[in-house]
């Protein structure tokens, strides 16, 4: 239990959740009520039970809070435990006293102790989280397609079935997808609960009775190969999520969308930033907007590097990492790969001038593949010997992260 200026930092109890919701309402100008919005409250109750909710209290009054949730993510084929940060907020009259920074440090320490060596979050302020070690790791594409631009594919032997969104075939498809897709959530029960609580199209559906629907594509052997979550409202079709394991399934799902052309005028969708929506359409002149989406932070540099699937043969690299939030990430790390085995040694608590120099946030976006070392050097986000930077470029796996969840 920490104390500061008459305030106390401790875990938020379940019976204090009403205060947590009041804080979120104020900070994010929401309108949730613990008495009226039982669905929201039940979801938050599960989060409190499954994660770590920490807050600063002025007496019995909650004034600042953070919640971390236990997830898993696929990083270039390796499964990492991940700490998901959410429900971050401080009343404005208590800002400027370092309360949130101390909560972030406490959360990072808990993650480290529990083996969560990477953290994701959806930022309310990218500059704010950059200063605290997170960096952009994925984009989101919002698109609008006219009914006249929808594709129609022939020669498919499979079929579509409409199912309950929680159908076992949906879960099975996503499980296969998450094993082969870099960056994505490997959904546990918490992640699936979040998927059905949060809504990409919340501003349109929060006050409506339009329920989430699901369609599954089965190949000619009746094996599920892809699914889509969607809604239809006011003669528009909204795609919440489309996941497929093969090209035939992608085509089959889009044929299903096209089959609604007599009912709709436009299709709206949100998908990962590396999904080539426009390119795959015959008429590619669609409305499309790309925005930064999630951010990532390396919680423990040494432990993250030890598990990282470096490419190539034997090599040795030196990284000098700076982290203004937690001391254990500051220093110079030597990475050695020999006979397929990777070792990581922290050789100094300071940043050696003879090593590649970079911040912990730059390290995160680089190792996840959102930006490559050569580009980061070009924009002066990393510095070092040209030979070592060229080597770094060759030993990092290629692939931009995909992330389609929200929490």
> Does the structure show a pLDDT above 50 at 278?
yes
* Farthest-apart Cα atoms in the chain, separation: 71
pLDDT tens-digit readout, 315-374: 999 999 999 999 999 999 999 999 999 999 999 999 998 999 999 999 999 999 999 999
> Does the structure show a pLDDT above 60 at 39?
no
pLDDT band, residue 28 (cuts 50/70/90): confident
Q: Which residues contact 125 (CB under 8 A, 6 or more apart)?
A: none
pLDDT tens-digit readout, 169-201: 999 999 999 999 999 999 999 999 888 875 554
pLDDT tens-digit readout, 220-236: 999 999 999 999 999 99
User: Which CATH code of 3.40.50.720, 3.40.630.30, 1.20.120.1150, 3.30.9.90 fits the domain covering 141-291?
Assistant: 3.40.630.30
> Does the structure show a pLDDT above 50 at 50?
yes
Q: Which two tokens mark 388? A: 């070592």
Residue 208: predicted pLDDT? 53
> Does the structure show a pLDDT above 50 at 141?
yes
Name the pTM for this structure.
0.91
Domain range annotation of the chain: 2-116, 141-291, 300-395
Which of 96, 94, 32, 95 has its CA nearest to residue 61? 94
pLDDT tens-digit readout, 229-266: 999 999 999 999 999 999 999 999 999 999 999 999 99
Q: Give the strand pairing for 159-163 and 341-348.
A: unpaired
> Does the structure show a pLDDT above 90 at 6?
no
Residue 206: predicted pLDDT? 47
**Which CATH number is 2-116 given?**
3.40.630.30
Residue 199: predicted pLDDT? 54
**Per mean pLDDT, which range of 28-37, 146-155, 320-329 is the poorest?**
28-37
User: Average pLDDT in the 282-297 region?
Assistant: 96
pLDDT band, residue 61 (cuts 50/70/90): very high
Q: Do 2-116 and 141-291 show the same overall fold?
A: yes
Residue 210: predicted pLDDT? 75
Residue 122: predicted pLDDT? 96
Residue 195: predicted pLDDT? 86
Is the CATH code 3.30.1050.10 the one for domain 300-395?
yes
pLDDT band, residue 204 (cuts 50/70/90): low
Average pLDDT over the chain reads 92
């Amino acid at each position: 239990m920490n104390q500061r200026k008459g305030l106390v930092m401790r875990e938020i109890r379940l019976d204090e959740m009403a205060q947590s919701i009041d804080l979120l309402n104020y900070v994010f100008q929401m309108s949730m009520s613990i008495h009226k919005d039982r669905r929201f409250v039940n979801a938050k109750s599960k989060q409190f039970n499954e994660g770590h909710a920490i807050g600063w209290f002025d007496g019995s009054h909650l004034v600042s809070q953070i919640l971390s949730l236990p997830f898993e993510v696929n990083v270039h084929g390796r499964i990492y435990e991940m700490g998901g940060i959410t429900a971050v907020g401080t009343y404005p009259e208590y800002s400027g006293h370092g309360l949130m920074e101390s909560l972030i440090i406490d959360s990072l320490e808990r993650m480290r102790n529990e083996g969560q060596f990477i953290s994701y979050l959806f930022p309310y302020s990218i500059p704010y989280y950059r200063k605290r070690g997170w960096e952009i790791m994925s984009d989101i594409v919002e698109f609008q397609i006219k009914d006249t631009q929808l594709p129609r594919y022939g020669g498919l032997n499979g079929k579509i079935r409409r199912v309950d969104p929680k159908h076992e075939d949906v879960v099975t498809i996503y499980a296969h997808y998450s094993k082969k897709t870099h960056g994505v959530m490997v959904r546990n029960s918490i992640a699936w609960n979040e998927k059905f609580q949060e809504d990409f199209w919340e501003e349109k559906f929060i006050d409506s009775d339009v329920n989430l629907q699901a369609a599954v594509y089965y190949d000619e052997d009746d094996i599920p190969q892809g699914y889509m979550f969607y809604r239809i409202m006011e003669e528009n079709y909204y795609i919440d999520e489309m996941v497929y394991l093969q090209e035939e399934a992608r085509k089959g799902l889009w044929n299903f969308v096209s089959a609604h052309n007599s009912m709709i005028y436009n299709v709206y969708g949100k998908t990962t930033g590396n999904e080539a929506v426009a390119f795959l359409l015959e008429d590619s002149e669609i409305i499309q907007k790309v925005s930064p989406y999630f951010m990532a932070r390396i919680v423990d540099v040494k432990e993250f590097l030890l598990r990282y699937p470096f490419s190539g043969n034997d090599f040795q690299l030196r990284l000098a990492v700076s982290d203004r939030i937690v001391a254990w990430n500051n220093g110079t790390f030597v990475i050695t790969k020999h006979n397929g085995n990777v070792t990581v040694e922290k050789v100094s608590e300071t940043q050696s001038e003879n090593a590649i120099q970079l911040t912990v946030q730059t390290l995160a976006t680089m190792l996840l593949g959102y930006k490559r070392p050569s580009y980061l050097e070009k924009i002066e986000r990393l510095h070092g010997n040209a030979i070592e930077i060229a080597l770094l470029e060759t030993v990092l796996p290629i692939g931009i992260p995909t992330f389609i969840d929200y929490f």
